[in-house]
A = this chain, B = another copy of it.
Amino acid sequence: MLDKVRVILVGTTDQRNIGSAARAMKTMGIHELVLVQPEELPEGKAQALAAGATDVLAKAQIMDSLADALADCQLVLATSARNRTLDWPQLTPREAGEKAVQEGLAGAKVAIVFGREASGLTNEELQMADFHLHIPANPEYSSLNLAMAVQTVCYEVRMAALAAAEAPESVRSSDVEYPLHDDIEGFYAHLERVLGHTGFIIRKHPGMVMTKLRRLFNRARPEKNELNILRGVLSSVERLAPSNEKRSPD
């Protein structure tokens, strides 16, 4: 199931970290790498550090946005420092490895997202994730090198995959079908539109409403059929009254 896992590096500053990450991935049996807006393209320095994993580097896709990189994924795990403003469901690397393997075995495409060396992922990027993944590092010095974080998380995924391979079939998979990340984002866009329509969100002062609703729904993790129900509810509200959006007076 390790071929269901995509590692995504967002805005990497130093190509050497891309090379080291590729090597770390391959030692754990994970081969799919996507780079979102890297500041340096992986060239000679990255290849040197990739050592025997230059094939991972050569096949790496480069994309313009995290949303594109996630479009066909069903489970999105994003690494983050502890985040007090964004109170998202949090997993340890071990829990993340187990979840990735459980859902990967059920057929889901799994993305694991790593942020910039200095600043990590933005709140906007973090809100695209189903779960945040936090490595419980030394609070006095928690700064893992990017590729070290990749190594640690991929190690946990591999350990979970090896454990699952040894476990009896029955404890493995669930039948639940989850929507694509793109469909989830489509729902949030629809929800925001409808809440603008009903006046619950004021266009000029959106505040934290959408963030709070994302947090709530992500915690529930809607299944595919549930998402369809929610979309149906939103459409029924739109039909209730023709769009009478208040245009801004200026």
The answer to whether B53 and A141 have CB atoms under 8 Å apart is yes
Identify whether the interface residues of A are mostly helix, strand, loop, or mixed: helix
In the complex, whether A138 has a CB less than 8 A from a CB of chain B is yes
Q: Is the CB of B229 within 8 A of A27?
A: no
Contact between chains at A198 and B237 (CB < 8 Å): yes
> A167 an interface residue at 8 Å Cβ cutoff?
no
Q: Are A159 and B141 in contact (CB under 8 A)?
A: no
CA distance A155 to B23 in the complex (A): 18
A4 CB-CB contact with B under 8 Å = no
Q: Which of B151, B195, B220, B221 contacts A144 (CB 8 A)?
A: B151
Q: Which residue of B lies closest to A212 (CB)?
A: B229
Q: Which residues of B contact A138 (CB under 8 A)?
A: 26-29, 158
Beta-carbon contacts under 8 Å, A140-193 to B: 140-145, 147-148, 151-152, 155, 158-159, 162
CB closest residue in chain B, given A139: B29
CB distance from A33 to the nearest CB of B (A): 14
Set of chain B residues within 8 Å of A217, measured between Cβ atoms: 220
- CB-contact partner of A27 in B142, B162, B209, B233, under 8 A: B142
Q: Does A94 contact B (CB under 8 A)?
A: yes
Contact A197 B240 (CB under 8 A): yes
Contacting residues, chain B, for A229 (C-beta < 8 A):
209, 212-213, 216
13 other A-B residue contacts (CB within 8 Å) besides A29-B140, A198-B239? A26-B141, A27-B138, A29-B138, A52-B141, A137-B158, A147-B148, A148-B148, A148-B151, A155-B155, A209-B229, A212-B225, A216-B226, A240-B240
Residues of A within 8 A of B (CB): 20, 23-24, 26-29, 51-53, 92-94, 135-138, 140-145, 147-148, 151-152, 155, 158-159, 162, 195, 197-200, 209, 212-213, 215-217, 219-222, 225-226, 229-230, 232-233, 236-237, 239-241
Closest 5 CB pairs of A and B: A220-B220, A200-B236, A198-B236, A29-B138, A241-B241
